């Protein structure tokens, strides 16, 4: 039984490494697609089913061996225990049920009404992803480049192109990281058990889980070690009860129990003493105050969601003209409804063109991927973003489809062009256009000028990226609904 | 580590014994240089001296190898003064007494640096050359001021050798130096003793060179000469391949020659494998650069050849090549010609990476792009008729990506043509850069086609 904790630690390490590597481009993105919220959004019923049924059977195993943010907090808590030498620092705390369900209602409201910002800020996987993509990945890239320079004589290591960081996303990720660090350092799993909506959903199910840790009263000596080691603060040794809605199956209590009284399995009803049952009854049910509190919070949340929605729609409409979405995003509504802004597509973008948005999509679409043609252009022969997207916000497109997906249209601004300003016939836009939509044609003065054939343009931005003029003489305007190239006008080749 | 083993180690890396040289850190090199100096001062080791040749205008012996001050070692974007100092000291101790700088080398920092370094040696023991930056001068009246500034920067009273830098167009020469009185001013300085011998360095075409030689008297001239740029009497000059014509004209007028780019900007230090194999068979322990230097030194009119050395390996290798200098004999020449036969038509761009083309107004790292192309395209079998497959194509792209930053790659060239007149090798830079860009795009397409074909 005591080996369960090692089993958990092993699985946790495997999972967190795998997810993190996926962001750094070192492994496939399979584990990202098994996260609860992305799987729900993707409609990946198999993964959702396994997680939910698993939770009903075994409790919140998801939080300790699948969720990278949960595992990360376990790690922080572990280090904190080592450094502070206060391994036994936890005490039983009462569940903050009002807060938990209020946040859940807010989250669900945001999810269903398409107010992206709420799920974006609350989804644990998305938050972990942004921390990796905005804080760890730059460090990783720099160190790879550094190593590549050192060993360049003996080994060939591909360097990364270093792109400028998006400050807002970086600052937000740093703030979030600090909060998580503080919460986990001092409170163990307090974040998972009060804020995290996934924790609340799974917690609700695991309240009724079939198997869970429990205390065999006959063997228990009430030493309290389990309570003091419980990062979820969910063991109450006084009553001998465990709040299974907060237990994340970390198995630490089983490992520290000196008498083996702490067991994982099915608790037999009759073994609960009458006295303990009595106290538990008073402890568990929803009090009236809590009920009213939850209701009020729910109404408040709903109101907040609705007001936020009207506001986002307005601001989205205001800044709507130019922004270009990644191919496969289809419509702006779809992208904003489904994306949790984890940043996986941004990290894996081959052309370096996907960057986290600031407010271009409106507040509801903060940190969502957008095309930034200053840092790159969409590679004609690449469909990575759709391939890696765990939520289905960017649809996976086969190469053929990707190449005929129209994400924007190029517009030529005559007076910005070098040909007009400095009489340099540069032709870079035509030279790099993959569909030959931009060509150099002569005007009536015999001057060579670029000309955009709107029927062929797919909006990849190669022209805008390569345009040397400042401000750009050719730029791509996004479409709020992505289009297909018409069959007969597709370029031959 | 004593000097002998150190030379083996450092020399070893020059010869391409993989890895050894790469492991020596800057600190190791400095320590080794210090140890070498101490050993020489205590008389423990007797260093051979670099061979010398008599230079009549100065009535003195000059070392065959000159230290060019255009490619000093860099650290954090600045000249690494400490390392440079010790490298120059190494060269000085081994008999190198010719130092060549110019107004705009290292953005103007070269003159200061070499002046500061040479301060500690007796003024008579070395020969310092500086040049009037022809390309920067618009108004001939600036010439005296620039000359004074050069003396000040170098911290000397006179220049042993003074050259008109990089003459390339007759129009400008006549405007600045004849009509503008620049040449008269410099001749005056020569009478005053602030210039001991006056010449010019040359980057133009053969007729202009003949005009300069026929109409004026010069103490010396500096031309680009190496075995790739040499043309025989029956070959008409073509691009940078005109050294033979220039040399023969100088010979006719009996003007001593100083040589720049003897290794063609390092191009001849890294030969394609098949060419290198031929040279190795003759001289297994000698580097490719040593062949290039010996070729130049074999020409009798050559006084000193300049090498812009930026690593200690290069200094050690070049010093050892020119110590007890051995000209190429007929057998050596046959071997070299054989290796060149293999070297033809590699599609290399004849760039010497001198970076006179910098800065590109659109940020293209011209020399970096061309260097990657020259070094790897042929070697990986990707030029016409090559046998490079997908693996080689991928490798080339990685090399390209690693060597040149995203914003400085060939795809940003706009054909603005600003670089063209600056190129001393008369390379049609925009065309070549676009050629590389197309080449890269084609590789990307090929790789994708292969990958897609495999996945379907």
* For chain B, domain boundaries: 1-46, 48-343, 366-455
Report whether pLDDT(B244) > 50: yes
Confidence (pLDDT) at B131: 94
Chain A nearest CA to B92, separation (Å):
30
A263 and A355 co-located in one domain: no
Instruction: Give the pLDDT band of residue B343 (cuts 50, 70, 90).
Output: very low
Confidence (pLDDT) at A152: 81
A273 and A404 co-located in one domain: no
| Test the A interface: residue of B14, B405, B414 with most A CBs within 10 Å | B414
Instruction: Give the pLDDT band of residue B21 (cuts 50, 70, 90).
Output: very low
List the domain range (segments joined by +) for residue A479: 332-489
Q: Which residues of A touch B (CB under 8 A)?
A: 148, 152-154, 156-159, 161, 352, 376, 381, 399, 418, 422, 424-428, 431-432, 466, 468
Is A27 inside a domain boundary? yes
Q: Would you state the structure tokens that stand for residue A206, as one six-digit string?
A: 């695991």
Is A300 inside a domain boundary? no
A342 and A473 co-located in one domain: yes
Is A188 inside a domain boundary? yes
Q: Which residues of A touch B399 (CB under 8 A)?
A: 156
In contact, B374 and B348? CB cutoff 8 Å: yes
Output the domain CATH number for residue A448.
3.30.70.20
Confidence (pLDDT) at B102: 93
Note whether A153 contacts B411, CB cutoff 8 Å.
Answer: no
Q: Would you state the structure tokens that stand for residue A321, as one six-digit string?
A: 């003209």
Note whether B406 contacts A427, CB cutoff 8 Å.
Answer: no
Q: Would you state the structure tokens that stand for residue B452, as one six-digit string?
A: 């897609």
Chain B nearest CA to A362, separation (Å):
30
Q: Closest Cα to residue B301, out of B331, B327, B320? A: B327
Residue of chain B minimizing CA distance to A427: B414
Confidence (pLDDT) at A288: 60
Query: For B301-333, how does the pLDDT look when each residue is reduced to its tens digit (9 = 90+)?
Result: 999 999 989 888 899 999 999 988 888 888 788
Q: Would you state the structure tokens that stand for residue A128, as one six-digit string?
A: 């972990």
A238 and A344 co-located in one domain: no
A205 and A76 co-located in one domain: yes
Q: Would you state the structure tokens that stand for residue A327, as one six-digit string?
A: 């191919």
| Test the B interface: residue of A141, A431, A433, A440 with most B CBs within 10 Å | A431
A244 and A341 co-located in one domain: no
Average pLDDT, chain B: 86
Confidence (pLDDT) at B278: 83
In contact, B239 and B203? CB cutoff 8 Å: no
Residue of chain A minimizing CA distance to B453: A399
Provide the number of structural domains found in chain A: 2
Instruction: Give the pLDDT band of residue B290 (cuts 50, 70, 90).
Output: very high
Architecture of domain B48-343: Alpha-Beta Barrel (3.20)
Confidence (pLDDT) at B13: 39
How many angstroms separate the CA atoms of A175 and A487, rounded? 49
A264 and A369 co-located in one domain: no
Question: In a structure prediction context, what are the per-residue pLDDT tens digits for chain A, which is 493 residues long?
Answer: 778 899 999 999 999 999 999 999 888 888 888 999 899 888 888 999 999 999 999 999 999 999 999 999 999 999 998 888 766 678 888 888 889 999 998 888 887 776 778 888 899 999 999 999 999 999 999 999 999 988 887 888 899 988 888 888 999 999 999 999 999 998 889 999 999 999 999 999 998 889 989 998 888 898 888 998 899 999 998 888 899 999 999 999 999 999 989 988 888 765 555 555 555 544 455 556 665 666 666 666 556 555 555 545 544 544 444 789 999 988 888 888 888 899 999 999 988 999 999 888 888 788 999 999 989 999 998 899 999 999 999 999 998 899 999 999 999 998 899 888 888 888 899 999 999 999 998 877 777 889 999 899 999 999 999 999 988 999 999 888 888 887 655 554 4
Note whether B452 contacts A424, CB cutoff 8 Å.
Answer: no
How many angstroms separate the CA atoms of B351 and B366, rounded? 10
Residue of chain B minimizing CA distance to A152: B22
A366 and A446 co-located in one domain: yes
Q: Which residues of A touch B452 (CB under 8 A)?
A: 381, 399
Q: Would you state the structure tokens that stand for residue A245, as one six-digit string?
A: 């809605």
Is A313 inside a domain boundary? no
Domain boundary among A255, A283, A311: A283
- Above pLDDT 70, what percent of chain B? 92
Confidence (pLDDT) at A466: 93
Confidence (pLDDT) at B201: 94
Note whether A161 contacts B452, CB cutoff 8 Å.
Answer: no
- Residues sharing a CB contact under 8 Å with residue A2, sequence separation 6 or more, in sequence order: A254, A255
Q: What φ, ψ does residue A71 adopt, rounded to 5°?
A: -65, -40
In contact, B308 and B345? CB cutoff 8 Å: no
In contact, A1 and A263? CB cutoff 8 Å: yes
Note whether B411 contacts A352, CB cutoff 8 Å.
Answer: no
Half-sphere exposure of B207 (CA within 13 A, CB side): 2
A212 and A73 co-located in one domain: yes
Residue of chain B minimizing CA distance to A380: B445
In contact, B352 and B264? CB cutoff 8 Å: yes
How many angstroms separate the CA atoms of B161 and B189, rounded? 12
Residue B148, Cβ density class (10 Å: 0-12 exposed, 13-18 middle, ≥19 buried):
exposed
In contact, A436 and A456? CB cutoff 8 Å: yes
A161 and A273 co-located in one domain: yes
How many angstroms separate the CA atoms of A373 and A323, rounded? 10
A172 and A27 co-located in one domain: yes
Q: Would you state the structure tokens that stand for residue B85, as one six-digit string?
A: 């100092």
Confidence (pLDDT) at A300: 66
Note whether A148 contacts B402, CB cutoff 8 Å.
Answer: yes
In contact, B83 and B30? CB cutoff 8 Å: yes
Chain A nearest CA to B266, separation (Å):
17
Q: Which residues of B252-264 are buried (b: 16+ CB within 10 A; e: fewer)?
A: eeebbbbbbbbbb
Confidence (pLDDT) at B8: 47
Is A327 inside a domain boundary? no
Confidence (pLDDT) at B223: 94
Average of per-residue pLDDT across B349-361 = 86
Asked whether the CA dihedral A442, A446, A449, A451 is positive or negative, the reply is: negative
Q: Which residues of A touch B435 (CB under 8 A)?
A: none
Confidence (pLDDT) at A294: 64
Instruction: Give the pLDDT band of residue B334 (cuts 50, 70, 90).
Output: confident
Chain B nearest CA to A175, separation (Å):
31
Is A320 inside a domain boundary? no
How many angstroms separate the CA atoms of B259 and B303, rounded? 8
Note whether B444 contacts A381, CB cutoff 8 Å.
Answer: yes
How many angstroms separate the CA atoms of B410 and B442, rounded? 13
Is A432 inside a domain boundary? yes
Residue of chain B minimizing CA distance to A374: B407
* C-alpha dist (Å) from residue A184 to A190, A192, A229, A259: 7, 9, 14, 29
A243 and A347 co-located in one domain: no
Average of per-residue pLDDT across B394-408 = 92
Note whether B22 contacts A422, CB cutoff 8 Å.
Answer: no
Confidence (pLDDT) at B424: 81
């Amino acid at each position: 039984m005591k080996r369960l904790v090692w089993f958990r630690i092993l699985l946790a390490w495997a999972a967190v490494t795998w997810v993190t590597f996926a962001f750094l481009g070192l492994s496939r993105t399979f584990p990202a697609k098994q996260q609860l919220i992305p799987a729900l959004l993707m409609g990946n019923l198999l993964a959702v089913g396994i997680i939910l049924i698993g939770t009903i059977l075994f409790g919140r195993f998801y939080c300790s061996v699948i969720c990278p943010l949960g595992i990360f907090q376990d790690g922080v808590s572990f280090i904190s225990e080592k450094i502070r030498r206060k391994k036994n620092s936890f005490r039983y705390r009462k569940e903050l049920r009002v807060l938990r369900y209020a946040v859940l209602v807010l989250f669900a409201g945001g999810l269903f009404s398409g107010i992206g910002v709420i799920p974006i800020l609350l989804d644990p996987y998305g938050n972990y992803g942004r921390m990796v993509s905005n804080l760890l990945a730059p460090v990783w890239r720099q160190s790879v480049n550094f190593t590549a320079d050192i060993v360049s004589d003996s080994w060939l290591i591909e360097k990364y192109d270093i792109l400028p960081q998006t400050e807002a996303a970086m600052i937000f990720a740093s703030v979030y990281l600090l909060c998580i660090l503080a919460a986990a350092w001092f409170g163990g799993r307090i974040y998972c058990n009060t804020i995290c909506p996934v924790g609340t959903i799974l917690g609700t199910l695991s309240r009724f889980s079939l198997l869970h840790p429990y205390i065999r009263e006959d063997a228990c000596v009430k030493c309290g070690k389990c309570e003091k080691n419980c990062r979820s603060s969910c063991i109450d040794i006084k009553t001998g009860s465990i709040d299974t809605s907060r237990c994340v199956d970390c198995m630490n209590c089983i490992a520290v129990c000196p008498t083996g009284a702490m067991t994982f399995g099915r608790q037999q009803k009759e073994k609960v003493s009458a006295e303990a049952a009595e106290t538990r009854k008073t402890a568990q049910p929803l009090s009236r105050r809590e009920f009213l509190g939850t209701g009020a919070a729910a109404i408040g949340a709903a109101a907040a969601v609705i007001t936020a929605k009207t506001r986002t729609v307005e601001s989205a409409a205001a800044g709507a003209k130019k922004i270009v979405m990644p191919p496969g995003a289809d419509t702006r509504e779809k992208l904003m409804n489904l994306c949790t802004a984890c940043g996986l597509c941004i990290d894996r973008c081959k052309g370096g063109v996907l960057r986290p948005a600031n407010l271009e999509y409106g507040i509801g679409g903060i940190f969502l991927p957008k095309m930034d043609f200053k840092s790159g252009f969409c590679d004609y022969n690449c469909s990575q973003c759709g391939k890696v997207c765990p939520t289905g916000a960017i649809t996976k497109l086969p190469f053929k489809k990707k190449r005929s997906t129209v994400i924007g249209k190029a517009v030529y601004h005559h007076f910005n062009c070098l040909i007009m300003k400095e009489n340099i016939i540069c032709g870079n836009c035509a030279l790099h256009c993959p569909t030959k939509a931009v060509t150099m044609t002569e005007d009536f003065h015999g001057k060579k000028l670029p000309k955009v054939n709107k029927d062929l343009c797919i909006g990849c931005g190669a022209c805008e990226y390569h345009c040397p003029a400042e401000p750009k003489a050719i730029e791509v305007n996004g479409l709020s609904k992505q289009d297909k190239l018409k069959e007969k006008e597709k370029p031959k080749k | 580590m004593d000097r002998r083993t150190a030379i083996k180690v450092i020399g070893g890396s020059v010869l391409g014994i993989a890895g050894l040289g790469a492991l020596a850190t800057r600190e190791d090199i400095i320590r080794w240089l210090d140890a070498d100096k101490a050993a020489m001062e205590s008389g423990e080791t007797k260093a051979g001296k670099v061979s010398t040749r008599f230079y009549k205008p100065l009535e003195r012996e000059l070392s065959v190898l000159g230290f060019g001050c255009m490619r000093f070692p860099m650290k954090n974007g600045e000249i690494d003064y400490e390392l440079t100092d010790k490298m120059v000291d190494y060269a000085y101790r081994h008999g190198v007494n010719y130092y060549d700088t110019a107004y705009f080398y290292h953005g103007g920092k070269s003159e200061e640096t070499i002046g500061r370094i040479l301060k500690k040696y007796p003024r008579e023991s070395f020969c310092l050359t500086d040049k009037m930056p022809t390309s920067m001068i618009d108004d001939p009246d600036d010439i005296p001021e620039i000359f004074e500034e050069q003396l000040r920067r170098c911290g000397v009273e006179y220049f042993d050798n003074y050259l008109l830098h990089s003459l390339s167009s007759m129009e400008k020469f006549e405007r600045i130096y004849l009509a503008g009185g620049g040449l008269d001013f410099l001749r005056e300085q020569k009478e005053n003793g602030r210039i001991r011998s006056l010449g010019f360095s040359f980057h133009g075409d053969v007729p202009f060179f003949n005009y300069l030689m026929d109409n004026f008297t010069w103490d010396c001239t500096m031309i680009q000469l190496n075995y790739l740029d040499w043309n025989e009497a029956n070959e008409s000059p073509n691009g940078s391949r005109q050294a033979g014509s220039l040399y023969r004209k100088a010979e006719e007028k009996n003007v001593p020659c100083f040589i720049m780019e003897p290794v063609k900007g390092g191009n001849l230090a890294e030969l394609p494998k098949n060419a290198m194999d031929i040279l190795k068979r003759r001289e297994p322990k000698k580097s490719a650069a040593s062949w290039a230097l010996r070729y130049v030194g074999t020409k009798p009119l050559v006084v000193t050849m300049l090498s812009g050395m930026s690593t200690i390996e290069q200094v050690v290798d070049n010093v050892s090549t020119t110590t007890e200098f051995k000209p190429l004999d007929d057998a050596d020449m046959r071997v070299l010609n054989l290796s060149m036969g293999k070297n033809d038509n590699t599609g290399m761009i004849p760039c010497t990476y001198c970076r006179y083309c910098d800065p590109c107004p659109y940020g293209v790292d011209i020399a970096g792009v061309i260097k990657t192309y020259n070094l790897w395209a042929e070697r990986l079998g990707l030029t016409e008729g090559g046998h490079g497959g997908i693996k080689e194509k991928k490798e080339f792209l990685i090399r390209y990506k690693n060597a040149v930053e995203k914003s400085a790659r060939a795809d940003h060239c706009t054909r603005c043509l600003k670089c063209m007149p600056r190129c001393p090798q008369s390379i049609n830079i925009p065309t070549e850069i676009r050629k590389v860009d197309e080449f890269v795009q084609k590789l990307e397409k090929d790789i994708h086609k292969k990958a897609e074909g495999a996945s379907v």
